[in-house]
């Protein structure tokens, strides 16, 4: 299995989808706890949800492996991303705190070093290569990191998550004018609740590649899954709901492209 799928676009925009993958290595597959076997923390159906962005001309990068193998949106040194409860480069627990692996069935350090070299590193090299290419061609580059999560996870956040959770690393990952335009766009509609730099401020990808001083801008969007799928197994796509959500996603992407 290749570490990622990549489609080259025509716009100065890279859509990164690090958590939609469901591929497992043999040792992870054998080791997963019963609760983890359905891959509950996957960003389900995100490539399908953003099909329109590919049609618009965005480049699209999609990780193939599950975050239970290695989390592409965590730093390679496995520093904690959030001061509150979180999961790491090699998640030991599910979002709800349940162990990811059966006792004694966690992959070895050597196996994990292998995942870092053959899954994590190629994904990040591709991001770097594509952003560099865009900057050479257009003079600037935009990265949109697309995520989704169940709308209620008591261990990670209180109550029900807003529908749209935009993150710009507290304003550091993109030009202030981009944050402003996105904020204005969300404030002008009442169909979906939203927050800018709330619980989800942007993960490693948003933070590492957001360099507005170099005209390289990143934005993360963490979507509440309730607006396009069933949040319980088998996590089915809900076309009726997705059709309602996609217009605002398209407006967000279009606004980002205004830079
Ligand atoms: Zn995610």
Question: What CATH number is given to the structural domain containing 221?
Answer: 3.40.630.40
pTM for the structure as a whole:
0.97
- Give backbone dihedrals phi and psi of 251, rounded to 5 degrees, phi first: -65, -40
216: β partners: 141, 211
* pLDDT tens-place string over residues 60-75: 999 999 999 999 999 9
End-to-end alpha carbon distance in the chain:
36
Q: Does the pLDDT of residue 206 top 70, yes or no?
A: yes
CA 43 / ligand 1 centre spacing (Å): 5
How far apart CA 28 and CA 215 sit, in angstroms, is 39
Rounded to whole angstroms, what are the CA distances from 167 to 8, 81, 182?
A: 25, 13, 10
* pLDDT tens-place string over residues 109-159: 999 999 999 999 999 999 999 999 999 999 999 999 999 999 999 998 999
Rounded to whole angstroms, what are the CA distances from 198 to 157, 163, 222, 250?
A: 10, 12, 10, 22
Q: What is the pLDDT of residue 83?
A: 67
CA 9 / ligand 1 centre spacing (Å): 22
Total tally of structural domains belonging to the chain: 1
88: β partners: none
Burial 181-211 (b: 16+ CB within 10 A, else e): bbbebbeeeeebebbbbebbbbbbbbbbbbe
CA 135 / ligand 1 centre spacing (Å): 26
CA 71 / ligand 1 centre spacing (Å): 9
CA 148 / ligand 1 centre spacing (Å): 5
Question: How large is the average pLDDT for residues 206-230?
Answer: 98
How far apart CA 238 and CA 150 sit, in angstroms, is 14
CA 45 / ligand 1 centre spacing (Å): 11
Q: What is the pLDDT of residue 230?
A: 98
Per mean pLDDT, which range of 30-44, 77-91, 115-129, 209-223 is the poorest? 77-91
Q: Does the pLDDT of residue 192 top 90, yes or no?
A: yes
Residues near 232 by beta carbon (within 8 Å), at least 6 away in sequence: none
CA 187 / ligand 1 centre spacing (Å): 24
* pLDDT tens-place string over residues 28-37: 999 999 999 9
CA 241 / ligand 1 centre spacing (Å): 20
Whether the Cβ atoms of residue 59 and residue 15 lie closer than 8 Å to each other: yes
Whether the Cβ atoms of residue 186 and residue 196 lie closer than 8 Å to each other: yes
CA 18 / ligand 1 centre spacing (Å): 7
> Percentage of the chain surpassing pLDDT 90?
94
CA 11 / ligand 1 centre spacing (Å): 23
Q: Residue 173 belongs to what H/E stretch?
A: none
Q: How far is CA 140 from the centre of its chain?
A: 22
- Give backbone dihedrals phi and psi of 159, rounded to 5 degrees, phi first: 65, -145
54: β partners: none
Containing domain of residue 250, as a range? 4-258
Q: Does the pLDDT of residue 81 top 80, yes or no?
A: no
CA 73 / ligand 1 centre spacing (Å): 8
CA 19 / ligand 1 centre spacing (Å): 5
* pLDDT tens-place string over residues 91-116: 999 999 999 999 999 999 999 999 99
Rg of the chain on CA atoms, in Å: 17
CA 258 / ligand 1 centre spacing (Å): 25
């Amino acid at each position: 299995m290749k570490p990622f799928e990549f489609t080259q676009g025509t716009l100065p925009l890279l859509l990164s989808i690090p958590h939609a993958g469901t591929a497992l290595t043999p040792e992870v597959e054998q080791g997963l706890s019963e609760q983890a076997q359905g891959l509950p923390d996957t960003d389900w159906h995100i490539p399908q949800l953003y099909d329109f962005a590919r049609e618009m001309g965005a480049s699209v990068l999609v990780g193939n492996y599950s975050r239970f193998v290695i989390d592409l949106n965590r730093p390679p040194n496995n520093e904690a991303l959030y001061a509150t409860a979180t999961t790491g480069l090699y998640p030991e627990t599910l979002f709800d705190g349940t162990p990811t692996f059966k006792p004694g069935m966690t992959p070895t350090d050597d196996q994990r070093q292998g995942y870092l070299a053959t899954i994590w590193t190629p994904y990040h090299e591709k991001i770097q290569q594509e952003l560099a290419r865009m900057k050479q061609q257009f003079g600037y580059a935009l990265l949109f990191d697309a995520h989704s999560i169940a709308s209620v996870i008591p261990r990670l956040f209180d109550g029900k998550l807003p529908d749209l959770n935009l993150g710009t690393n507290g304003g550091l990952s993109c030009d202030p004018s981009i944050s402003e335009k996105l904020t204005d766009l969300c404030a002008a509609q009442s169909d979906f609740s939203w927050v800018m730099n709330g619980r989800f401020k942007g993960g490693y990808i948003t933070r590492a590649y957001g360099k507005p001083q170099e005209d390289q801008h990143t934005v993360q969007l963490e979507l509440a899954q309730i607006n396009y799928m069933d949040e319980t197994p088998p996590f089915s796509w809900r076309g009726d709901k997705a059709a309602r959500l996609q217009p605002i996603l398209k407006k967000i992407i279009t606004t980002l492209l205004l830079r």
